[in-house]
Amino acid sequence: MLDGKKVLFSGMQATGNLTLGNYLGALKNWVSISDEYETFYSVVDMHSITVRQDPAELRRRARTLLTLYIAAGLDPEKNCIYYQSHVSGHAELSWILSCYTYMGELSRMTQFKDKSAKHADNINAGLFTYPVLMAADILLYQSDVVPVGIDQMQHLELTRDIAQRFNSIYGDVFTIPEAYIGKVGAKIMSLQDPAKKMSKSDENPNGSIYLMDDPDTIIRKFKRAVTDSEAHVHYCDEQPGIKNLIDIYCACTGKTPADAEAEFEGKGYGDFKLAVGESVVSVLRPLQERFADLSKNKDYLDSMIKANAEKAQYFSNKTLRKVQKKIGFPERVR
């Protein structure tokens, strides 16, 4: 609890271009529930360097991501929006927690297995201990709730295990966080392969809708989306391409799958795909416009970045000092 409110933490990597999956699975939910919580939304740039990055590009993407958080509707006066690398406690707590995390636990993480297969020439220790840094992000703020897409559930379970293990040794140090998974859009799949999640790092750009795609590109990608030969807009596991499009449509319009089935009864996939594309365009257009306006306002963004980093540093220090004391690090002389 902070100021009588429960605490919410979440973050996104500043790697690649943000996709509709990131928006519908995470960012959109952040905006809708943020008023109920004391919130911390981090641009997790330290996580990004587990894969080689071009420095100028990483800096640019981090700034873009932070601006997108605000453009999506998170007011930086009310929500603590900051860069992970500006708050030293993330790395400090991560080291401590890594001494309470087992190699076996980390080697079971599917994201580690996937990423090490993909970057076989650079399987660095950071890629392996990545989930410990994520646990530190969350536990540093005594977070009660963590809104994420389904793909992050395994990391969240590990965070809970680490926190419980630590608490069982030292008493109630950490709040045990709960995941918040949205009702719709928690796993948006690739438009080109509905068995694969839509991902920032997909080599095929037609599989993903990027938040900065223009309307023509969005409509074109939906027209090309892989479906099936059933010619029937039906929400079922046997039609994964159509199911994914219905999920996207519902997440963008607030309709239910039953509404969508009724609306497109007897109509071809062409009409349906166009309607899905248009629903996405109408969600992304205002976000893109706000992004363009905000990007011009450098001073405002800079002052907000400074103030929020200080706020995050202040709150994270409280937990860090508590943890350091519990494990027996010498007290600071004031």
Closest CB to ligand TYM among residues 164, 297: 164
Closest CB to ligand TYM among residues 110, 303: 110
Closest CA to 158 of 226, 209, 97, 242: 97
Closest CB to ligand TYM among residues 26, 281: 26
Closest CB to ligand TYM among residues 111, 263: 111
Closest CB to ligand TYM among residues 15, 329: 15
**Smallest separation (angstroms) from ligand TYM to the CB of 217:** 18
The DSSP bridge partners found for residue 197 are 189
Q: Could you list the residues that contact ligand TYM (CB under 6 A)?
A: 9-13, 21-22, 25-26, 44, 47, 134, 137-138, 146, 148-149, 151-152, 155, 186-188, 197-198
**Smallest separation (angstroms) from ligand TYM to the CB of 167:** 19
Residue nearest to ligand TYM (CB): 25
Long-range contacts of 293-302 (CB under 8 A, 24+ apart): 294/67, 294/70, 294/71, 295/67, 301/63, 301/66, 301/67, 301/70
**Smallest separation (angstroms) from ligand TYM to the CB of 155:** 6
Beta-sheet pairing, 37-43 with 6-12: parallel
Instruction: Show which residues are catalytic.
Output: 115, 197, 200
**Smallest separation (angstroms) from ligand TYM to the CB of 98:** 15
**Smallest separation (angstroms) from ligand TYM to the CB of 140:** 10
